[in-house]
């Protein structure tokens, strides 16, 4: 390495420039989408708009808000996310807590079973058949139940419980005559709010962003989550008829339709990502914490 004889200050500068460049490259597409969502579509499509908004218009958002399918999708996604996170926590916390206690019977066996699912699974088709035969197809449960608790979440929450309580607290309460249920509900859970928040957030993001289970399990459009609607608009280029029809009585030319399509595209990305964009800066440290607890090797 002797040929790198740059002085430390020069190194510092180069390094800062490198990080700055990487950051700019990563954030540029996001800025572009935000600017494009409020720019004139003609300017966007001809490449005149490349960083800041040009000929500002909020037409895209107005059209998104008038689109019924997007609202239905939004409502469904909120519902699935909320219900999914509740069931997730209801199953995850007791399981992880029990596995964190020394005196659990057959603990090795349970851990092994859970770990095994990380290494091996039946795959797409067997899962699909199970969901189908349980008559969950075309219901909310097909979205919420499969994958409701993953092995990773259980292991992360378990290692949090282990690190935090290490049994002294438990033993102290036991001596005071508290039952296991009382202990779990009144002592452990109130002290575990950080891990509960982390786990809820990760699961909520996963549910909010997933499209695949909806794609294979749902055929009723009234049940479609937001991501499936987005797929139609962004990827399949099916600008839904009702967004065009909602512009009262205006007969649209083909060029107009193309314009509308590109307007709606960027606006709908913003609208769909808005809840996450708003909370992300405040919750970033929780997400980071989740990753770090998960990476602690015993």
Partner 1 sequence: MWFEHFERFFDSYYFWRLLKNTIILNAYNLILFPLPIIFALSLNELRNGPFKKWSQTLTYAPHFISVVVVVGMLVAFLDPNTGIINHLIRWLGMDPIPFLTSPDWFRHVYVWSGQWQSLGWGTIIYLAALAGVNPELHEAAKVDGASRFQRIMRINLPSIMPTIVILFILNIGNFMQIGFEKVLLMQNNLNSETSDIIQTFVYETGILEGQYSFAAAIGLFESAINIVLLITVNQIARKVSENSLW
Q: Does 255 sit near partner 1 (CB under 8 A)?
A: no
Over the window 1 to 40, marking each residue x when it contacts partner 1 by CB under 8 A and - when it does not, the resulting string is x--xxxxx--xx--xx-xxx-xx-xxx-xx-xx--x----
Between residues 66 and 231, which has the closer beta carbon with respect to partner 1? 231
* HSE, side-chain direction, 13 A CA sphere, residue 203: 33
- Please give the Cα distance from 131 to 62 (Å, whole number): 39
Cβ neighbours for 216, distance < 8 A, ≥ 6 positions apart: 128
- Please give the Cα distance from 105 to 99 (Å, whole number): 9
- Please give the Cα distance from 159 to 294 (Å, whole number): 8
Q: Does 74 sit near partner 1 (CB under 8 A)?
A: no
- Please give the Cα distance from 240 to 72 (Å, whole number): 13
Residues 189-218 that bind partner 1 (CB under 8 A): 205, 208-212, 216
- Please give the Cα distance from 272 to 285 (Å, whole number): 22
Between residues 37 and 162, which has the closer beta carbon with respect to partner 1? 37
If one counts every other C-beta atom within 10 angstroms of the C-beta of residue 122, the result is 11
- Stretch of residues binding partner 1 (CB under 8 A), selected from 82-90, 121-129, 134-142, 173-181: 121-129
Residues that bind partner 1 in the complex, under the rule CB under 8 A: 1, 4-8, 11-12, 15-16, 18-20, 22-23, 25-27, 29-30, 32-33, 36, 44-47, 50, 119-126, 128-129, 205, 208-212, 216, 227, 230-231, 233-235, 237, 262, 265-266, 269, 272-273, 276, 280-281, 284, 287-288, 291-292, 295, 297
């Amino acid at each position: 390495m002797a040929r790198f004889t740059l002085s430390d200050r020069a190194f510092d500068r180069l390094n800062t420039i490198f990080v700055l460049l990487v950051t700019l490259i990563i954030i540029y597409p996001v800025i572009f989408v935000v600017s494009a969502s409020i720019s004139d579509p003609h300017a966007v499509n001809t490449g005149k708009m490349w960083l800041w908004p040009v000929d500002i218009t909020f037409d895209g958002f107005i059209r998104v808000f008038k689109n019924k399918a997007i609202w239905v999708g939004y409502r469904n996604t909120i519902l699935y996310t909320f219900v999914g996170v509740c069931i997730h926590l209801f199953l995850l916390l007791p399981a992880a807590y029990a596995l964190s206690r020394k005196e659990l019977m057959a603990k090795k066996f349970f851990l092994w079973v859970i770990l095994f699912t990380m290494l091996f699974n039946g795959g797409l088709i067997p899962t699909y058949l199970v969901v189908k035969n349980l008559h969950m197809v075309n219901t909310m449960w097909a979205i919420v139940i499969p994958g409701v608790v993953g092995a990773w979440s259980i292991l992360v929450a378990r290692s949090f419980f282990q690190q935090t309580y290490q049994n002294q607290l438990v033993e102290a309460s036991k001596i005071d005559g508290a039952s296991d249920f009382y202990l779990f509900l009144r002592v452990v859970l109130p002290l575990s709010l950080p891990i509960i928040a982390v786990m809820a957030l990760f699961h909520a993001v996963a549910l909010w962003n997933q499209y695949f289970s909806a794609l294979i399990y749902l055929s009723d459009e009234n049940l479609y989550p937001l991501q499936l609607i987005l797929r139609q608009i962004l990827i399949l280029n099916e600008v839904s008829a009702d967004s065009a029809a909602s512009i009262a009585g205006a007969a649209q030319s083909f060029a107009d339709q193309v314009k509308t399509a590109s307007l709606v595209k960027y606006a709908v990305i913003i609208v769909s990502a808005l809840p996450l964009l708003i909370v992300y800066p405040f919750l970033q440290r929780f997400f980071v914490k989740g990753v770090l607890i998960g990476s602690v090797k015993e």
